[in-house]
């Protein structure tokens, strides 16, 4: 699409902002894959519509304030990139645009408070666990609080599972086939610490040694994807300092973290450590991708057969283009039958902090996703992201459905331990 | 404004859009070279709302444009500046399917592919399959008489429309055609279908469905020249075979498809895709005949598959090709000229010569069986004069099509884009008559003003 944006006035982020606008031909192939277009049915809430809005804001023909509600509605799921025949990097545009306009945008007080609370608690496991404990009694007051705060309280889990601290190193069992470093992550480590433990055990069972570098931080995705690059950069730099270069890969167990770390090059564009950021990004690999690449040592056959529905987390399927590895891993378990839910490409509505910032849209998407998963008749739902696990669990519960939910590595872990059946509902 | 006040009375709430951002989002369709800001956009959710909106436009003399998914490649759903844009995408229900009479009743915003998805449970499908079928809507298909790869045997949209309920430009609701093909009097559905919205808005459409074929086989034949592939198409038809689809892609189009959806096509200067369908015995017999024809046609290689996933990938590559050229150049113009099938080889050679003379790259991907060319003229809009040079080449290609006995459009419609080329095919008298017919239904030229015909409002009579 032709435009009159002066790319060079946009600083180091310029090319990432204008290249997607150049590439978009406005064909509309993205429309059916966009969760907000499918839900709201209006052009402003579609990927190509938003591209038009961002183009006009950057050209100076449209007021930012007029465009913002629609741009804020975007989940950043990147399903449009999977659907796009023209190769438009929409994710880079929306992330870059949010960062570009953050310094000049104004938010109402309640939204400002919510944003601050989210960005100052979620990325820090200790603060998040404390906030969850403090917030729980406040849920009784939710009805009387401004809606952004009430939405946050609704997501606080009833209990936080006890967490044994992760070791500094998990040795490989048998001959060592690879050596990797694990990103422990933040929210997942509080909400479901078993996922990282399961990953460590599965990696070990596959002859992979894992180190968990001290001094690492949250990946920064949460901040990055909501326009707060100034908060994301220090986190990225902490990880640049913490992660060794002499490992075969940097492993992530949450799809959102993986996709966030893979954007370090863009996050640090124009900074002295841009190159180092891009180099680290290259080495980031989702745990399923890595296991599949190394070659999974098949777990023992299951004592009883089980039907599993795999839910594609957007930040793995769309942002990291990985749909085959998790299916191949699960398919390697003898006795496990994989079924596919309808509308796999549609986001569940979790999308980082989206379910807190846009509770109504997130609720509609969550209910739709839960219904699609329920319709598969599977006994167990498997996915690769803590946000999806929380969101889908919430909406299954709301629909009164008891279905178990696990991360891909938890399934493998239980299969190795002969304990796949009987996973408790989340 | 008078019209905004009138629309405000309709109780549309947040579905009456007037903010700058909302209007910006609706300012163009699949042809971004043209943009215009409407004064309001209405997200209609019922026939009654479409009627009320059109009546308000009629009462205030405001032009209106209806739009489904906004995928027109000719600017067919480009808003009129200061007019009203009526979005029909929320009217997307399949109202009924009658497997016995093989018909379906649809709202205009139903996505083309969703008709076949809904009909599949009854072993039926909706035949017309524009490349944008995963997005484009039935209302737009009807207004532009859309084609598609499989229209070679099954016919265009008009061949599958039985009846419709339409809102005329003065807001009157009327019914054209009916549930069966046999009708008395003039063929009103035939006139409405393909009229590019000049006679009003279809709000309910009855379409015919076809049974899903028992067997299907898709062939990929690689050639070392475009004209050899074009000649093969003529030979196949001359031999009495009628495939459901025959498509050709040239090297640039293949390159774009591989960059995009990676259909794993064989490398070739020209790729011929042929699809056979029918009962098992017919497809088996036709396969033997087709293989023999391709063997003597100079094909470099040929493969065929009946595997649904492999076939889906072949078609995904073909149907993404327009958008995929976004990988090759920042901008492109897609043309839609038609030549008689027997002139295909010659027309392709002329396109090549025109492209070389202009020094502009042209990718070709087209419905070969129908002689419907889709030259994609690649350019960089940031270069001074590039757009004008590309437009000149497009005009030269269209003139050539008409000279060879063809037409300036096969399926994308005239829209705003090819309006200036209409005199290539029609005399001033023809155009005047068309304008008079249009104004006999819509004296104020309110419905989709400016598309296909030059309106009186622009000065010169159409």
Nearest-5° angle of CA B85, CA B88, CA B91? 155
- Chain B CB contacts of A85 under 8 Å are 260-261, 320-324, 326
Q: End-to-end distance of chain A based on CA atoms, in angstroms?
A: 46
Task: Please report where in the chains the tokens 């929320």 appear, as a residue.
Answer: B90
Chain A CB within 8 Å of residue B260 CB: yes
Distance from C-alpha of A353 to C-alpha of A355, rounded to nearest angstrom: 6
Domain ranges of chain A: 7-104, 109-154, 169-292, 298-416
Nearest to B25 among A53, A61, A88 (CB): A53
pLDDT at B461: 39
- Contact yes or no for B330 and A22 at CB 8 A: yes
Nearest to A86 among B26, B27, B323 (CB): B323
Chain A CB within 8 Å of residue B137 CB: no
Q: State yes or no: ipTM above 0.90.
A: yes
**CATH topology for B2-87?**
3.30.43
pLDDT, tens digit, 9 for 90 and up, residues B46-89? 999 999 999 999 999 999 999 999 999 999 999 999 999 999 99
Chain A CB within 8 Å of residue B326 CB: yes
> Nearest-CA residue of chain B relative to A43?
B25
Tell which CATH classification among 3.30.530.20, 3.30.465.10, 2.40.30.40, 3.40.190.170 matches the domain B94-211. 3.30.465.10
Q: Is domain A298-416 in CATH 3.40.1010.10, yes or no?
A: no
pLDDT, tens digit, 9 for 90 and up, residues B410-428? 999 999 999 999 999 999 9
Nearest to A27 among B43, B261, B323 (CB): B323
Distance from C-alpha of A257 to C-alpha of A315, rounded to nearest angstrom: 8
Class of domain B215-322: alpha beta
Q: Which of A259, A281, A331, A310 is nearest to A82 (CA)?
A: A259
- Min Cα distance A52 → chain B (Å) is 6
Q: Has residue B462 got a pLDDT over 50?
A: no
Q: End-to-end distance of chain B based on CA atoms, in angstroms?
A: 29
- E strand or H helix at B378: strand B375-379
pLDDT, tens digit, 9 for 90 and up, residues A164-195? 889 999 999 999 999 999 999 988 888 899 99
- Contact yes or no for B20 and A31 at CB 8 A: no
Do the domains A298-416 and A169-292 match in fold? Answer: yes
Q: Has residue A144 got a pLDDT over 80?
A: no
- Contact yes or no for A44 and B21 at CB 8 A: yes
- Contact yes or no for A85 and B332 at CB 8 A: no
Distance from C-alpha of A387 to C-alpha of A407, rounded to nearest angstrom: 11
Cβ neighbors of B111 (< 8 A, separation 6 or more) are A32, B69, B92, B133, B134, B135, B136, B137, B138
Nearest to B22 among A26, A41, A44 (CB): A44
Q: Has residue A426 got a pLDDT over 70?
A: no
Nearest to A52 among B25, B33, B381 (CB): B25
Which B positions 97-126 lie with beta carbon below 8 A of chain A?
Answer: 111
Interchain CB contacts (distance < 8 Å): A and B: 110
Task: Please report where in the chains the tokens 């519960």 appear, as a residue.
Answer: A397
- E strand or H helix at A72: helix A64-73
> Nearest-CA residue of chain B relative to A6?
B382
* In B238-353, beta strands by DSSP E: 245-250, 270-278, 301-305, 331-334
Which B positions 375-394 lie with beta carbon below 8 A of chain A?
Answer: 381-382
- Contact yes or no for B323 and A29 at CB 8 A: yes
Distance from C-alpha of B90 to C-alpha of A42, rounded to nearest angstrom: 8
Q: Which residues pair with B216 in a beta bridge?
A: B277
Cβ neighbors of A240 (< 8 A, separation 6 or more) are A264, A273, A276, A277, A280
**CATH topology for B329-419?**
Alpha-Beta Plaits (3.30.70)
DSSP letter at B412? S
- Contact yes or no for B326 and A2 at CB 8 A: no
- Chain A CB contacts of B260 under 8 Å are 85-87
CATH number of A7-104: 1.10.1060.10
Going by DSSP bridges, is the β-strand pair A208-211/A178-182 parallel, antiparallel, or unpaired?
parallel
Average pLDDT of chain A to the nearest whole number: 92
Tell which CATH classification among 3.40.50, 3.40.630, 3.30.1450, 1.20.950 matches the domain A169-292. 3.40.50
- Contact yes or no for B24 and A56 at CB 8 A: yes
pLDDT band at A125 (very low <50, low <70, confident <90, very high): confident
- In the sheet that holds B173-177, the strands lie side by side as B94-98, B103-106, B201-208, B161-167, B173-177
Q: Are B42 and B78 in contact (CB under 8 A)?
A: no
- Chain A CB contacts of B71 under 8 Å are 27-28
Chain A CB within 8 Å of residue B90 CB: yes
Do the domains B329-419 and B215-322 match in fold? Answer: yes
Region B159-163: what's the mean pLDDT? Answer: 96
Q: Are B337 and B377 in contact (CB under 8 A)?
A: no
- Contact yes or no for B326 and A42 at CB 8 A: no
- Contact yes or no for B32 and A31 at CB 8 A: no
Tokens for A172? 């490989």
- Chain B CB contacts of A46 under 8 Å are 25
Chain A CB within 8 Å of residue B208 CB: no
> Nearest-CA residue of chain A relative to B35?
A52
pLDDT, tens digit, 9 for 90 and up, residues B1-19? 899 999 999 999 999 999 9
Out of A119-128, A289-298, B24-33, B371-380, least confident range: A119-128
Cβ neighbors of A137 (< 8 A, separation 6 or more) are none
Q: Which of B314, B422, B406 is nearest to B351 (CA)?
A: B406
pLDDT at B459: 62
Domain ranges of chain B: 2-87, 94-211, 215-322, 329-419
Whole-number Cα distances in Å, B195 to A323, B158, B191, B201, B417: 44, 11, 7, 10, 15
Q: Are B43 and B90 in contact (CB under 8 A)?
A: yes
């Amino acid at each position: 699409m032709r435009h009159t944006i002066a790319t060079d006035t946009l600083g180091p982020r310029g090319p990432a902002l204008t290249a997607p606008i150049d590439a978009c031909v406005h064909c509309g192939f993205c429309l059916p894959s966009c969760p907000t277009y499918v839900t709201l049915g209006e052009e402003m809430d579609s990927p190509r519509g938003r591209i038009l809005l961002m183009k006009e804001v950057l050209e100076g023909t449209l007021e930012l304030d007029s465009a913002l509600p629609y741009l804020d509605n975007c989940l950043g799921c990147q399903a449009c990139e999977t659907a796009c025949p023209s190769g438009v990097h929409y994710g880079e545009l929306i992330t870059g645009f949010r960062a570009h306009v953050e310094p000049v945008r104004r938010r109402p007080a309640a939204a400002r408070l919510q944003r601050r609370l989210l960005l100052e608690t979620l990325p820090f496991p200790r603060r998040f666990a404390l906030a969850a404990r403090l917030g729980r009694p406040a849920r009784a007051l939710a009805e009387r609080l401004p809606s952004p705060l009430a939405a946050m309280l609704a997501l606080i889990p009833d209990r936080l599972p006890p967490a044994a601290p992760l070791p500094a190193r998990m040795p490989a069992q048998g001959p060592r086939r690879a050596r990797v470093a694990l990103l422990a992550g933040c929210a997942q480590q509080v909400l479901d610490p078993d996922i990282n433990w399961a990953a460590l055990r599965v990696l070990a069972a596959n002859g992979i040694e894992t180190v968990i570098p001290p001094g690492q931080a949250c990946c920064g995705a949460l901040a990055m994807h909501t326009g707060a690059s100034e908060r994301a950069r220090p986190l990225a730099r902490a990880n640049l300092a913490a992660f060794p270069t002499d490992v075969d890969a940097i492993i992530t167990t949450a799809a959102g973290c993986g996709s966030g770390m893979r954007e370090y090059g863009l996050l640090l564009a124009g900074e002295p450590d841009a190159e180092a950021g891009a180099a680290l990004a290259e080495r980031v690999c989702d745990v399923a991708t890595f296991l599949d690449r190394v070659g999974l040592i098949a777990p023992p056959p299951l004592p009883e057969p089980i039907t599993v529905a795999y839910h594609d987390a957007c930040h793995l399927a769309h942002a990291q283009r990985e749909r085959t590895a998790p299916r191949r891993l699960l398919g390697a378990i003898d006795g496990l039958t994989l079924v596919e839910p309808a509308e796999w490409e549609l986001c569940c509505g979790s999308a980082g902090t989206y379910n807190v910032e846009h509770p109504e849209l997130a609720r509609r998407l969550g209910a739709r996703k839960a219904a699609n998963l329920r319709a598969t008749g599977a006994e167990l739902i498997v996915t690769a992201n803590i946000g999806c696990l929380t969101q889908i669990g919430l909406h299954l519960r709301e629909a009164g459905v008891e279905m178990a939910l696990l991360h891909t590595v938890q399934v493998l872990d239980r299969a190795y331990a002969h304990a796949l059946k009987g996973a408790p509902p989340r | 404004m008078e019209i905004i006040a009138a629309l405000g009375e309709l109780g549309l709430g947040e579905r009456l859009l007037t903010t700058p951002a909302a209007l910006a989002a609706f300012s163009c369709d699949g042809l971004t070279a043209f943009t215009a800001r409407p004064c309001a956009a209405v997200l209609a959710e019922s026939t009654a709302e479409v009627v009320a909106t059109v009546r308000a436009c009629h009462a205030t003399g405001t032009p209106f444009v209806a739009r489904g998914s906004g995928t027109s490649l000719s600017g067919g759903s480009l808003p009129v500046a200061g007019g009203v844009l009526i979005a029909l995408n929320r009217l997307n229900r399949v109202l009924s399917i009658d497997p016995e009479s093989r018909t379906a009743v649809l709202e205009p915003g139903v996505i083309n592919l969703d008709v076949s998805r809904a009909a599949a449970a009854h072993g039926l499908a909706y035949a017309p399959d524009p490349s944008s079928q995963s997005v484009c809507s039935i209302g737009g298909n009807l207004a532009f008489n859309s084609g598609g790869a499989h229209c070679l045997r099954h016919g265009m949209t008009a061949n599958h429309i039985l009846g419709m309920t339409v809102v005329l430009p003065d807001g009157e609701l009327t019914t054209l055609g009916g549930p069966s093909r046999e009708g008395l009097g003039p063929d009103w559905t035939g006139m409405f279908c393909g009229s590019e919205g000049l006679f009003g808005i279809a709000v309910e459409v009855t379409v015919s469905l076809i049974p899903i074929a028992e067997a299907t086989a898709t062939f990929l034949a690689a050639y070392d020249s475009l004209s050899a592939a074009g000649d093969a198409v003529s030979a196949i038809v001359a031999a009495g075979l009628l495939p459901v689809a025959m498509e050709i892609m040239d090297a640039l189009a293949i390159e774009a498809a591989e960059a995009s959806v990676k259909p794993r096509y064989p490398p070739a200067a020209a790729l011929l895709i042929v699809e056979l369908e029918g009962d098992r015995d017919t497809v088996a017999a036709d396969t033997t005949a087709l293989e023999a024809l391709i063997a003597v046609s100079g094909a470099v290689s040929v493969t065929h598959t009946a595997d649904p996933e492999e076939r889906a990938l072949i078609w995904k590559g073909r149907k993404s090709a327009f958008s995929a050229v976004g990988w090759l150049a920042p901008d492109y113009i897609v043309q839609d000229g038609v030549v008689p099938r027997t002139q295909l080889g010659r027309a392709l050679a002329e396109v090549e010569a025109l492209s070389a003379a202009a020094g502009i790259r042209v990718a070709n991907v087209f419905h070969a069986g129908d002689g419907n060319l889709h030259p994609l003229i690649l350019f960089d809009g940031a270069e001074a004069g590039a757009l004008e040079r590309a437009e000149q080449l497009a005009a030269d290609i269209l003139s050539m099509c008409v000279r060879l006995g063809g037409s300036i459009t096969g399926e994308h419609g005239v829209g705003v884009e090819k309006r200036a080329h209409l005199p290539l095919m029609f005399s001033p008298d023809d155009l005047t008559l068309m304008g008079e017919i249009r104004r006999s239904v819509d004296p104020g030229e309110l419905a989709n003003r400016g598309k296909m015909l030059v309106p009186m409002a622009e000065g010169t009579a159409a």
